[in-house]
Amino acid sequence: NAGVTQTPKFRVLKTGQSMTLLCAQDMNHEYMYWYRQDPGMGLRLIHYSVGEGTTAKGEVPDGYNVSRLKKQNFLLGLESAAPSQTSVYFCASRAGLAGVRSHEQFFGPGTRLTVL
């Protein structure tokens, strides 16, 4: 049981390049989230998904796209990377409404992305 995993762990891009970050969870969770962490700003929600095939915008969605084709995977895409997207990206998942841990989010280890 790996929990939430993220690929890759580190990446350096040049401005204008594209890439996809992969988040995978093996807990059969319905909900998945992508956050970015910047110094002094905590974590901010980029996009989220409340189930397979659904996605929605969070607080800072511009410049990112997401897809949830399979329940266990949530992909975050940068079509044309910009230096402002240099950040640490965290993926999280959570189960549904019921249960003791129903509102707890389980986080992946993070991806450190630098855009030059």
Partner 1 sequence: AQKVTQAQTEISVVEKEDVTLDCVYETRDTTYYLFWYKQPPSGELVFLIRRNSFDEQNEISGRYSWNFQKSTSSFNFTITASQVVDSAVYFCALILISGNTGKLIFGQGTTLQVKP
- Total residues contacting partner 1 (rule CB under 8 A)? 26
CB 87 within 8 A of CB 37: yes
For partner 1, the closer CB: 17 or 106: 106
- Please compute, for residue 79, the number of CA atoms within 13 A of its CA located in the half-sphere on the CB side: 6
The residue type found at 110 is G
For partner 1, the closer CB: 70 or 103: 103
Least distance from partner 1 to the Cβ atom of residue 104, Å = 6
| Total residues belonging to the chain | 116
Binding site for partner 1 (CB under 8 A): 31, 33, 35, 40-45, 48, 50, 56, 58, 88, 90, 92, 94, 97, 103-107, 109-110, 112
